[in-house]
Structure 1
Amino acid sequence: MTGFAESAAKGVFWTYLTFLGTKGISLVSLIVLARLLGPETFGMMAICMVVIAYFEIVARFGLGAALVSAQEHQAEMETAVALMSLVTSAAMVLLAWIAAPYLAGVFQEPSLTWPLRVIALALMIDAIAVVPVTRLSKRLQFRLKAVPDLARSLVKAAASILLAIMGFGLWSLVWGHVVGTLAAAVAAFLVAPWRPTVRPRAEVVGEAFRFGRHLLLAEVINAAQRNLDALLVGKLLGTTALGLYSLAFRLPDLLIRSFNQVAGTVLHPVISSRGAAKEAMAELYLSSLRHVALITFPAGAALSVASEPIVHLLYTPEWYGMIVPMGYLSISLALLTVDFVPGIIYKAMNRTEFLLWTSILKLPIFVVTLVLVAPYGIAAIAASQIGLSLIYFLPNWLILRRIIGVGLWQTLTALVPAILLAASVAAAGLALNQLQLRSDLLQVLVLGLGFALVFLPGIMLAVPEVRGTLRRRLKR
């Protein structure tokens, strides 16, 4: 397991460093844009992105994951994935253009018709670069993969801010998204040139299709869970409330959900490349869960405790309504780690039907809960996500117990270090909040220092490999 841990840790480090860079750029631009545009404009953009997310899932068709998991006929699989991506993306762009006026009408925002159509163009751009980007992940070349990711963030931020200053309003966000996607595609081909070399056989295309169909259905259902809260806020509470809710989600998304996504991006090819037998999967799962939760649980606790001074520091008073929802969302996204890691194992074992089954089981619970709490406002919607995050793990536990023999007690034992570290971070933050410093900047700096003084010794105590790595680096 040492080789697995080292490969995974190295990949996670570089990929999360890239995420911090790209999301850091996005966060800075977001703060600037929030001061230029206001909650209503962000609410309208959030509607566009939620709607396009469904078209994006179908356009991708799980093909990137199929290419990562493929062990044979690599060149044929790459060509098959490229062709299928172009076909599905073109179909989704056409459908989005036709459906845009009807979708805009659902939210009583007819002005969103053309923004929806323009944003849909990014689906085709992404499809063109799917093979170069996926090849970088499969080969564990995460430093090179940072190039297109950073290009996307830099170009998107620069274009959006420039257009916002020029008075383009919503269109500054729309065109920023499109040109950022184009920059990422160009950069991907520059660092990982690729062209089709063979014609794929029908059975290879069928293999990609079979892998993708389960993942596609699971992703469509999961997207409903990820986006239904935003859809309900936009529909029932209006675009201003949705703008507040969408920005309340951004910082937790940067620090927590992005780390989960990074872990999935790295662990999937690492586990797949090792060809682990069924008996070894339990150890791989528990190790992955333990190490990922050691980051996400304390991050969720820290961000929840620090939400008020952070929002006061970064945003104007019109955004203060996002403070309480951001605290709840930070906790819920951290807890979603226990639901996220099993999906990595399913994909590594080529058992994507389990993703579909668990998604089907979770969806009705999610829908009923959200419909019941939505009338009580965005804080109630955010708070409900905490309980849902815990409920989501139950079907995964039943499946994991059957296919790799992992019991509930083993899972809870793996999470104990993360729970203790998160509790320590939260206690330190609550104590420091009692200081009531006059400067929000000083309050945030003091909280950050307190979190670091608790987290760093805790992570070195929980993960002996970190101590060994630091010792070797210091000797050098």
Structure 2
Amino acid sequence: MTGSEPEGARVPDASGRPTPAAPSTARQTAWNYLVFALSKSSTLLMTIVVARILSPTEFGIFALAILVVNLFDYVKDLGVASALVQNRRDWRDLAPTGLTLSVLFGLFASGLLAATAGVAARALGEPELTELIRVLAVGLAISALSTIPAAWLRRSMNFSARLMPEFAGAVAKTGLTIGLAAAGFGVWSLAYGQLAASVIMTILYWRVARIRPGFAFNGPVCRELVRFGLPVTAVTLLAYAIYNVDYLAVGERLGATELGLYSMAYRIPELLVLSLCVVISEVLFSALSGLQDDRDVLTRHYLQALTVVAALTIPIGIGLAVAAQPAVGTLYGSAYAESAPILSVLAIYATVYSASFHAGDVFKAIGRPGILTAINAGKLAVLVGPIWWAAGHSALAVAVALLSVEALHFLVRMTVLCRLTSTSWLSIAGALCRPAAAAVPMGLVLVGVSHVIDGLADPLELAVMVVVGLCVYVLILRFTAAHLVKSAFETVRARISRSAATPATTKEDL
């Protein structure tokens, strides 16, 4: 290995058998969330500013380009990154072959993307997409080079090291995009900003990971990585289809302008709810992989994580649903007012989706990614018809169809989880209902508040609703899930005490 053993590594018990130690998921999730918060706040700032410069149509065109690019981005390493995290071989045996595979797969994927850009543009009816996709293909090739250092940081549970590359990339993307948009580059400002972020993040990932594997090829290692990675890739491809069928349907049947409104509405719950799930998932999958030989400990760890996820995502989703109109007006301006009702539905969709999101981490950690493939294939089969039909009516109808199918998907995922582990529906209900019992009354209070303060400027209305919602939620949560509130306050108090005990740096110290 290139560093110390990862936190949560298994140590022998008295009998000499390896037993999983409890990984510090909470601490590493906090670091990963800091990385997320800093990078996504930059992205949100960029979106807010650029929304005042670019039109919904330009955002719609870029959304179509990303739709094509993501197909290749999702499969650019054929699951090698996930296999490197899950595989328990010594890192020195895995890394050289992993590096060779990830670079070759990445270059092939980006080359194929560039070669088929014209075909994709014609199929989507937007000729401007050809060159846009080719520029983004360069960024895809560059980002493939960061697969190995990023996988090492996840495997070693060193999520704090991701802070520099992620934040620096986000800042560069934000600054360049805003500058180019203001200079009149239009939709190209978004593409060049994305490219700049890929370059900076790849360079810095190699710097902070402090690993230097060489290119090599080991047949048995390759087979192990690909054997695990291919089912993960199948899951990823299905996830791509599921995540993007609504974009494709709206873009094809309603046009770029409607897609721009829909994608901007989706972006808010994506940043605040779905990205949070991704942040936690990266840590949780690493932690659960280390616990894969002890199903009872793994199940307890998952349920603890689910409780925290629910306590964060349910109030955000319900709050967004109620405060959609002032949120859109504050963030995007009046040109995007039609996004508000779409946002209300998508916020609830994101909340339902987050409730079953991490069941997938369990399936992958126990070496059963094929289960995800089967579940997602069924979801896609059910999803396509309603989404395509809804797109013939309105973008709002598409959001409603998405929510309806997601409710069914939740039931299927959790049923399979209960059958494969010691998880029960009662324990799942306990993890979800305690936060929900505080979030639902909060939403009802916000509905009343919104009628009282209707007519205020959107930023002021949003600020009032955020403050009131937070206070009501925390107050009720003290009764429905007192241990969560107590744990949160104790963590904050410990951080403050530790900071106060640290001597301040003076000029004489420098």
TM-score, normalization: structure 1?
Answer: 0.95
CA–CA separation in structure 2 for the residues paired with 1:413 and 1:4: 25
Cα distance per residue 1:82-127 (max 9 Å; x no partner): 2111111111122112211111011211121111111011121111
Opposite residue 469 of structure 1, the aligned amino acid is: T
CA–CA separation in structure 2 for the residues paired with 1:15 and 1:455: 25
CA–CA separation in structure 2 for the residues paired with 1:400 and 1:227: 25
CA–CA separation in structure 1 for the residues paired with 2:84 and 2:230: 14
Match of 1:338 among 326, 346, 355: 355
Q: Which of 54-63 and 2-11 deviates more?
A: 2-11
Opposite residue 155 of structure 1, the aligned amino acid is: A
Where does residue 462 of structure 2 map in the other structure? 444
> Compared with structure 1, are the counterparts of its residues 175 and 342 closer, same or farther at alpha carbon in structure 2 (3 Å cutoff)?
same
Asked if the contact 1:76–1:204 (Cα under 8 Å) also holds between the matched residues in 2, the reply is yes
Asked if the contact 1:417–1:462 (Cα under 8 Å) also holds between the matched residues in 2, the reply is no
CA–CA separation in structure 2 for the residues paired with 1:454 and 1:200: 58
Opposite residue 271 of structure 1, the aligned amino acid is: L
Q: Is 1:455 the equivalent of 2:477?
A: no
TM-score, normalization: structure 2?
Answer: 0.89
Where does residue 297 of structure 1 map in the other structure? 314
Asked if the contact 1:125–1:182 (Cα under 8 Å) also holds between the matched residues in 2, the reply is yes
SS at match of 2:179: helix
Asked if the contact 1:78–1:196 (Cα under 8 Å) also holds between the matched residues in 2, the reply is yes
Where does residue 466 of structure 1 map in the other structure? 488
SS at match of 2:24: helix
1:64-83 equivalent positions in 2, closer than 5 A: 64-83=81-100
Q: Is 1:249 the equivalent of 2:263?
A: no
SS at match of 1:402: helix
CA–CA separation in structure 1 for the residues paired with 2:121 and 2:292: 47
Deviation at 1:311, TM superposition (A): 1.3
Where does residue 11 of structure 2 map in the other structure? none
CA–CA separation in structure 1 for the residues paired with 2:215 and 2:90: 10
Q: Which of 271-280 and 71-80 deviates more?
A: 271-280
Match of 1:432 among 442, 449, 467: 449
1:10-89 equivalent positions in 2, closer than 5 A: 10-89=27-106
> Compared with structure 1, are the counterparts of its residues 423 and 4 closer, same or farther at alpha carbon in structure 2 (3 Å cutoff)?
farther
Cα distance per residue 1:346-404 (max 9 Å; x no partner): 12112111111111111111111212211121111112222222111233233222221
Match of 2:294 among 277, 290, 294: 277
Deviation at 1:456, TM superposition (A): 3.2
Q: Is 1:132 the equivalent of 2:141?
A: no
Opposite residue 302 of structure 1, the aligned amino acid is: G
1:221-232 equivalent positions in 2, closer than 5 A: 221-232=238-249
> Compared with structure 1, are the counterparts of its residues 379 and 84 closer, same or farther at alpha carbon in structure 2 (3 Å cutoff)?
same
Asked if the contact 1:229–1:370 (Cα under 8 Å) also holds between the matched residues in 2, the reply is yes
Asked if the contact 2:291–2:298 (Cα under 8 Å) also holds between the matched residues in 1, the reply is no
Opposite residue 451 of structure 1, the aligned amino acid is: G
Match of 1:402 among 419, 427, 438: 419
Kindly tell me the number of residue pairs found equivalent between the two proteins. 475
Where does residue 188 of structure 1 map in the other structure? 205
Where does residue 15 of structure 2 map in the other structure? none
CA–CA separation in structure 2 for the residues paired with 1:73 and 1:199: 15
CA–CA separation in structure 1 for the residues paired with 2:483 and 2:399: 31
Q: Is 1:96 the equivalent of 2:113?
A: yes
Deviation at 1:197, TM superposition (A): 4.6
Opposite residue 410 of structure 2, the aligned amino acid is: F
Q: Which of 251-260 and 14-23 deviates more?
A: 14-23
Deviation at 1:21, TM superposition (A): 1.2
Asked if the contact 1:256–1:296 (Cα under 8 Å) also holds between the matched residues in 2, the reply is yes
Deviation at 1:473, TM superposition (A): 4.5
Which structure has more helix as a fraction of its residues?
1
Aligned alpha-carbon RMSD (Å) = 1.9
Match of 2:340 among 315, 320, 323: 323
SS at match of 1:195: coil
SS at match of 1:104: helix
Give unpaired runs (5+ residues) of structure 1: none
> Compared with structure 1, are the counterparts of its residues 11 and 110 closer, same or farther at alpha carbon in structure 2 (3 Å cutoff)?
same
Q: Which of 211-220 and 388-397 deviates more?
A: 388-397
CA–CA separation in structure 2 for the residues paired with 1:212 and 1:6: 24
Deviation at 1:69, TM superposition (A): 1.0
SS at match of 2:184: coil
Asked if the contact 1:304–1:328 (Cα under 8 Å) also holds between the matched residues in 2, the reply is yes
Where does residue 507 of structure 2 map in the other structure? none
Opposite residue 447 of structure 1, the aligned amino acid is: M
CA–CA separation in structure 2 for the residues paired with 1:466 and 1:314: 29
Where does residue 252 of structure 2 map in the other structure? 235
Opposite residue 232 of structure 2, the aligned amino acid is: L
Cα distance per residue 1:125-147 (max 9 Å; x no partner): 11111111221222222221111
Match of 2:223 among 206, 231, 234: 206
Asked if the contact 1:4–1:270 (Cα under 8 Å) also holds between the matched residues in 2, the reply is no
| Sequence identity (%) | 28
Q: Which of 59-68 and 300-309 deviates more?
A: 59-68
SS at match of 1:406: coil
